[in-house]
Homo-oligomer: A and B are copies of this chain.
Protein backbone atom coordinates (compact mmCIF):
# COMPACT_ATOMS: atom_id res chain seq x y z
CA UNK A 1 0.00 0.00 0.00
CA UNK A 2 1.19 3.48 -0.82
CA UNK A 3 0.11 6.55 1.09
CA UNK A 4 1.40 10.04 1.19
CA UNK A 5 -0.32 12.76 3.08
CA UNK A 6 0.47 16.42 3.26
CA UNK A 7 0.37 18.08 6.63
CA UNK A 8 -0.07 21.67 7.65
CA UNK A 9 1.31 22.50 11.06
CA UNK A 10 0.42 25.51 13.14
CA UNK A 11 3.54 27.50 12.31
CA UNK A 12 2.62 27.80 8.65
CA UNK A 13 0.43 30.71 9.57
CA UNK A 14 -0.04 32.19 6.12
CA UNK A 15 -2.28 29.29 5.23
CA UNK A 16 -5.30 30.42 7.18
CA UNK A 17 -5.57 33.61 5.16
CA UNK A 18 -5.76 31.85 1.85
CA UNK A 19 -9.01 31.50 0.02
CA UNK A 20 -8.38 28.07 -1.39
CA UNK A 21 -6.71 25.11 0.20
CA UNK A 22 -3.71 24.06 -1.87
CA UNK A 23 -5.03 20.54 -2.13
CA UNK A 24 -2.26 19.39 -4.43
CA UNK A 25 0.07 19.55 -1.44
CA UNK A 26 -2.10 17.15 0.50
CA UNK A 27 -2.00 13.73 -1.04
CA UNK A 28 -3.31 10.51 0.38
CA UNK A 29 -3.98 7.34 -1.53
CA UNK A 30 -6.58 5.27 0.20
CA UNK A 31 -7.61 1.63 0.39
CA UNK A 32 -10.60 -0.13 1.85
CA UNK A 33 -10.65 -2.14 5.03
CA UNK A 34 -10.20 -5.44 3.28
CA UNK A 35 -9.74 -8.26 5.82
CA UNK A 36 -6.88 -9.78 3.80
CA UNK A 37 -4.81 -6.68 4.39
CA UNK A 38 -5.31 -6.95 8.12
CA UNK A 39 -3.74 -10.41 8.06
CA UNK A 40 -0.71 -9.32 6.07
CA UNK A 41 0.02 -6.40 8.36
CA UNK A 42 -0.58 -8.18 11.66
CA UNK A 43 3.12 -8.84 12.23
CA UNK A 44 4.02 -5.15 12.32
CA UNK A 45 0.80 -3.93 13.94
CA UNK A 46 2.08 -4.58 17.45
CA UNK A 47 4.80 -1.98 17.18
CA UNK A 48 3.48 0.24 14.40
CA UNK A 49 0.18 1.96 15.21
CA UNK A 50 -0.30 2.94 11.56
CA UNK A 51 0.72 -0.25 9.69
CA UNK A 52 -1.13 0.54 6.46
CA UNK A 53 0.55 3.95 6.10
CA UNK A 54 3.76 4.31 4.10
CA UNK A 55 6.76 5.61 5.98
CA UNK A 56 6.50 9.08 4.43
CA UNK A 57 6.20 12.68 5.55
CA UNK A 58 2.48 12.29 6.28
CA UNK A 59 2.93 9.44 8.70
CA UNK A 60 5.91 11.15 10.29
CA UNK A 61 3.90 14.35 10.79
CA UNK A 62 1.19 12.41 12.62
CA UNK A 63 3.58 10.46 14.82
CA UNK A 64 5.60 13.60 15.61
CA UNK A 65 2.40 15.46 16.51
CA UNK A 66 1.17 12.70 18.81
CA UNK A 67 4.53 12.29 20.51
CA UNK A 68 4.99 16.04 21.07
CA UNK A 69 1.47 16.62 22.42
CA UNK A 70 1.48 13.65 24.80
CA UNK A 71 5.00 14.04 26.25
CA UNK A 72 4.80 16.00 29.51
CA UNK A 73 8.39 17.13 29.05
CA UNK A 74 7.63 18.62 25.63
CA UNK A 75 6.86 22.35 25.27
CA UNK A 76 4.12 21.23 22.88
CA UNK A 77 2.40 19.07 25.52
CA UNK A 78 -1.42 19.21 25.45
CA UNK A 79 -3.33 18.20 28.60
CA UNK A 80 -5.49 15.10 28.03
CA UNK A 81 -8.79 16.97 28.46
CA UNK A 82 -7.87 19.31 25.60
CA UNK A 83 -6.97 16.55 23.14
CA UNK A 84 -9.81 16.92 20.64
CA UNK A 85 -9.49 15.56 17.10
CA UNK A 86 -12.23 16.14 14.52
CA UNK A 87 -12.83 14.17 11.33
CA UNK A 88 -15.04 14.92 8.38
CA UNK A 89 -16.83 11.73 7.34
CA UNK A 90 -17.78 11.67 3.64
CA UNK A 91 -14.60 11.24 1.62
CA UNK A 92 -12.45 11.34 4.75
CA UNK A 93 -13.52 8.26 6.71
CA UNK A 94 -15.63 6.44 4.13
CA UNK A 95 -16.44 6.51 0.41
CA UNK A 96 -18.78 9.32 -0.64
CA UNK A 97 -18.35 9.08 -4.39
CA UNK A 98 -20.17 9.32 -6.75
CA UNK A 99 -23.14 10.01 -4.45
CA UNK A 100 -23.42 10.55 -0.69
CA UNK A 101 -24.66 7.45 1.09
CA UNK A 102 -27.27 9.44 2.97
CA UNK A 103 -28.72 10.69 -0.33
CA UNK A 104 -28.99 7.07 -1.49
CA UNK A 105 -30.86 6.37 1.75
CA UNK A 106 -33.26 9.26 1.17
CA UNK A 107 -33.98 8.21 -2.41
CA UNK A 108 -34.56 4.62 -1.27
CA UNK A 109 -37.01 5.85 1.38
CA UNK A 110 -39.21 7.72 -1.11
CA UNK A 111 -41.51 4.76 -1.93
CA UNK A 112 -42.25 4.21 1.77
CA UNK A 113 -43.00 7.91 2.25
CA UNK A 114 -45.28 7.94 -0.80
CA UNK A 115 -47.09 4.89 0.58
CA UNK A 116 -48.13 6.90 3.65
CA UNK A 117 -48.82 10.02 1.55
CA UNK A 118 -50.13 8.75 -1.83
CA UNK A 119 -50.75 12.29 -3.09
CA UNK A 120 -46.97 12.72 -3.47
CA UNK A 121 -46.78 10.08 -6.23
CA UNK A 122 -47.92 12.61 -8.83
CA UNK A 123 -45.87 15.51 -7.50
CA UNK A 124 -42.27 16.38 -8.38
CA UNK A 125 -39.61 15.54 -7.37
CA UNK A 126 -41.18 12.37 -5.95
CA UNK A 127 -42.59 11.39 -9.35
CA UNK A 128 -39.10 11.39 -10.89
CA UNK A 129 -37.61 9.42 -7.99
CA UNK A 130 -40.36 6.79 -8.27
CA UNK A 131 -39.69 6.50 -12.03
CA UNK A 132 -36.32 4.99 -11.26
CA UNK A 133 -34.77 6.99 -14.14
CA UNK A 134 -31.26 7.45 -12.76
CA UNK A 135 -30.25 10.13 -15.22
CA UNK A 136 -33.35 12.20 -14.44
CA UNK A 137 -32.79 11.73 -10.71
CA UNK A 138 -29.18 12.88 -11.04
CA UNK A 139 -30.39 16.04 -12.79
CA UNK A 140 -32.78 17.06 -9.98
CA UNK A 141 -31.97 20.59 -8.77
CA UNK A 142 -30.87 21.27 -5.18
CA UNK A 143 -34.30 22.65 -4.23
CA UNK A 144 -35.87 19.31 -5.16
CA UNK A 145 -33.22 17.40 -3.24
CA UNK A 146 -34.05 19.48 -0.16
CA UNK A 147 -37.72 18.46 -0.55
CA UNK A 148 -36.69 14.80 -0.67
CA UNK A 149 -34.44 15.16 2.39
CA UNK A 150 -37.21 16.91 4.35
CA UNK A 151 -39.77 14.26 3.42
CA UNK A 152 -37.53 11.30 4.28
CA UNK A 153 -35.59 12.65 7.29
CA UNK A 154 -38.32 14.44 9.25
CA UNK A 155 -41.84 13.85 10.49
CA UNK A 156 -41.14 10.57 12.27
CA UNK A 157 -40.03 9.96 15.85
CA UNK A 158 -36.35 9.83 16.66
CA UNK A 159 -36.69 6.14 17.56
CA UNK A 160 -38.51 5.28 14.32
CA UNK A 161 -35.82 7.05 12.30
CA UNK A 162 -33.04 5.10 14.01
CA UNK A 163 -34.84 1.82 13.29
CA UNK A 164 -35.37 2.75 9.61
CA UNK A 165 -31.70 3.65 9.11
CA UNK A 166 -30.50 0.46 10.84
CA UNK A 167 -32.80 -1.67 8.68
CA UNK A 168 -31.65 0.06 5.50
CA UNK A 169 -27.92 -0.20 6.34
CA UNK A 170 -28.27 -3.93 6.95
CA UNK A 171 -29.74 -4.50 3.46
CA UNK A 172 -28.30 -1.80 1.20
CA UNK A 173 -25.27 -2.52 -0.96
CA UNK A 174 -22.95 -0.19 -2.86
CA UNK A 175 -23.58 -0.90 -6.58
CA UNK A 176 -19.88 -0.96 -7.54
CA UNK A 177 -18.43 -2.75 -4.53
CA UNK A 178 -21.43 -4.99 -3.76
CA UNK A 179 -20.82 -4.51 -0.06
CA UNK A 180 -22.66 -2.78 2.80
CA UNK A 181 -21.90 0.94 2.91
CA UNK A 182 -20.64 0.56 6.48
CA UNK A 183 -17.75 -1.57 5.16
CA UNK A 184 -16.54 1.11 2.73
CA UNK A 185 -14.32 2.83 5.26
CA UNK A 186 -10.66 3.76 4.78
CA UNK A 187 -8.32 1.49 6.71
CA UNK A 188 -5.55 4.10 7.16
CA UNK A 189 -8.06 6.50 8.71
CA UNK A 190 -9.52 3.84 11.02
CA UNK A 191 -5.96 3.17 12.20
CA UNK A 192 -5.49 6.90 12.73
CA UNK A 193 -8.67 7.14 14.83
CA UNK A 194 -7.48 4.28 17.03
CA UNK A 195 -3.96 5.68 17.31
CA UNK A 196 -5.22 9.07 18.45
CA UNK A 197 -7.63 7.51 20.96
CA UNK A 198 -4.87 5.30 22.33
CA UNK A 199 -3.02 8.55 23.03
CA UNK A 200 -5.83 10.20 24.93
CA UNK A 201 -7.45 12.08 22.07
CA UNK A 202 -11.24 12.29 21.99
CA UNK A 203 -12.19 11.63 18.37
CA UNK A 204 -15.21 13.42 16.87
CA UNK A 205 -16.95 13.22 13.53
CA UNK A 206 -17.83 16.68 12.20
CA UNK A 207 -19.89 16.00 9.09
CA UNK A 208 -22.03 17.92 6.66
CA UNK A 209 -24.21 14.81 6.70
CA UNK A 210 -27.13 14.33 9.04
CA UNK A 211 -26.15 14.09 12.68
CA UNK A 212 -28.94 11.63 13.47
CA UNK A 213 -28.07 9.50 10.43
CA UNK A 214 -24.36 9.13 11.19
CA UNK A 215 -25.00 8.55 14.90
CA UNK A 216 -26.85 5.33 14.08
CA UNK A 217 -23.67 3.52 12.98
CA UNK A 218 -20.70 5.66 14.12
CA UNK A 219 -20.06 3.67 17.28
CA UNK A 220 -20.03 0.31 15.51
CA UNK A 221 -18.15 1.49 12.42
CA UNK A 222 -15.67 4.03 13.82
CA UNK A 223 -15.76 3.47 17.58
CA UNK A 224 -17.18 6.99 17.90
CA UNK A 225 -20.18 7.29 20.26
CA UNK A 226 -23.29 9.30 19.24
CA UNK A 227 -22.39 12.17 21.56
CA UNK A 228 -19.16 12.64 19.59
CA UNK A 229 -20.91 12.97 16.24
CA UNK A 230 -21.52 16.58 15.17
CA UNK A 231 -23.50 16.96 11.97
CA UNK A 232 -26.17 18.85 10.17
CA UNK A 233 -28.99 18.85 12.69
CA UNK A 234 -32.66 19.68 12.70
CA UNK A 235 -34.85 20.50 15.64
CA UNK A 236 -37.01 17.97 17.43
CA UNK A 237 -40.36 18.47 19.15
CA UNK A 238 -41.23 16.93 22.49
CA UNK A 239 -44.71 15.39 22.77
CA UNK A 240 -46.74 12.58 24.29
CA UNK A 241 -48.19 9.40 22.83
CA UNK A 242 -51.77 8.35 23.63
CA UNK A 243 -50.46 6.18 26.46
CA UNK A 244 -48.73 9.19 27.99
CA UNK A 245 -45.21 8.17 26.96
CA UNK A 246 -43.07 11.10 25.85
CA UNK A 247 -41.28 11.04 22.50
CA UNK A 248 -39.36 13.34 20.16
CA UNK A 249 -40.45 14.07 16.59
CA UNK A 250 -37.90 15.10 13.96
CA UNK A 251 -38.94 18.55 12.70
CA UNK A 252 -38.16 20.15 9.31
CA UNK A 253 -36.36 23.01 11.09
CA UNK A 254 -32.64 23.41 10.44
CA UNK A 255 -30.62 24.16 13.58
CA UNK A 256 -27.11 23.61 12.26
CA UNK A 257 -25.88 23.37 8.66
CA UNK A 258 -22.63 21.66 9.54
CA UNK A 259 -20.60 22.42 6.44
CA UNK A 260 -18.09 25.16 5.54
CA UNK A 261 -18.32 27.89 8.25
CA UNK A 262 -20.96 25.72 9.92
CA UNK A 263 -18.23 23.28 10.95
CA UNK A 264 -16.38 25.55 13.40
CA UNK A 265 -19.77 26.90 14.51
CA UNK A 266 -20.95 23.33 15.13
CA UNK A 267 -17.72 22.49 16.93
CA UNK A 268 -18.28 25.41 19.28
CA UNK A 269 -21.93 24.48 19.84
CA UNK A 270 -21.38 20.78 20.41
CA UNK A 271 -17.84 20.53 21.82
CA UNK A 272 -16.98 24.00 23.10
CA UNK A 273 -13.25 23.52 22.56
CA UNK A 274 -11.03 24.11 19.57
CA UNK A 275 -9.64 20.86 18.12
CA UNK A 276 -5.90 20.20 18.18
CA UNK A 277 -6.15 18.04 15.06
CA UNK A 278 -8.60 18.09 12.17
CA UNK A 279 -8.96 15.94 9.06
CA UNK A 280 -10.99 16.61 5.96
CA UNK A 281 -11.02 16.15 2.18
CA UNK A 282 -12.93 19.00 0.58
CA UNK A 283 -13.49 22.75 0.52
CA UNK A 284 -16.35 22.13 2.97
CA UNK A 285 -13.67 21.32 5.54
CA UNK A 286 -11.61 24.47 4.95
CA UNK A 287 -12.98 26.51 7.85
CA UNK A 288 -12.70 23.59 10.28
CA UNK A 289 -9.03 23.18 9.39
CA UNK A 290 -8.36 26.94 9.53
CA UNK A 291 -10.07 27.20 12.90
CA UNK A 292 -8.01 24.29 14.21
CA UNK A 293 -4.63 25.59 13.09
CA UNK A 294 -5.41 29.14 14.30
CA UNK A 295 -5.38 27.95 17.92
CA UNK A 296 -2.44 28.32 20.26
CA UNK A 297 0.06 25.51 20.71
CA UNK A 298 0.56 22.47 18.52
CA UNK A 299 -2.11 21.83 15.88
CA UNK A 300 -2.37 19.40 13.00
CA UNK A 301 -4.58 19.71 9.92
CA UNK A 302 -4.65 17.24 7.04
CA UNK A 303 -6.57 16.68 3.84
CA UNK A 304 -7.26 13.40 2.08
CA UNK A 305 -6.83 13.53 -1.71
CA UNK A 306 -8.66 10.96 -3.82
CA UNK A 307 -6.39 9.95 -6.68
CA UNK A 308 -6.74 6.18 -6.91
CA UNK A 309 -9.38 5.34 -9.49
CA UNK A 310 -8.56 1.66 -9.34
CA UNK A 311 -9.02 1.00 -5.64
CA UNK A 312 -11.45 3.86 -4.97
CA UNK A 313 -12.15 7.00 -7.06
CA UNK A 314 -10.00 9.78 -8.49
CA UNK A 315 -11.78 13.12 -8.21
CA UNK A 316 -9.44 15.49 -6.42
CA UNK A 317 -8.25 18.17 -6.14
CA UNK A 318 -11.56 19.94 -6.51
Binding site for B on A (CB under 8 A): 16-17, 81, 84, 158, 202, 211-212, 215, 219, 225-227, 229, 233, 235-238, 240, 244-248, 255-256, 261-262, 264-265, 268-273, 287, 290-291, 294
Contact = CB atoms under 8 A, between A and B. Distances in A.
A226 B272 contact: yes
B238 A81 contact: no
A70 to B, nearest CB: 18
Contact of A244 (B16, B215, B229, B273): B16
Given A227-B227, A237-B261, A246-B291, 12 more contacts: A81-B219, A84-B227, A158-B268, A226-B272, A227-B270, A227-B273, A235-B269, A236-B268, A236-B269, A238-B287, A248-B268, A270-B270
A229 B269 CA distance: 10
B271 A235 contact: no
A79 B238 CA distance: 26
Given A246-B291, A264-B248, A272 B236 contact: no
Given A237-B265, A265-B238, A271-B226, A287 B246 contact: yes
Nearest to A272: B226
Nearest to A267: B248
A269 B255 contact: yes
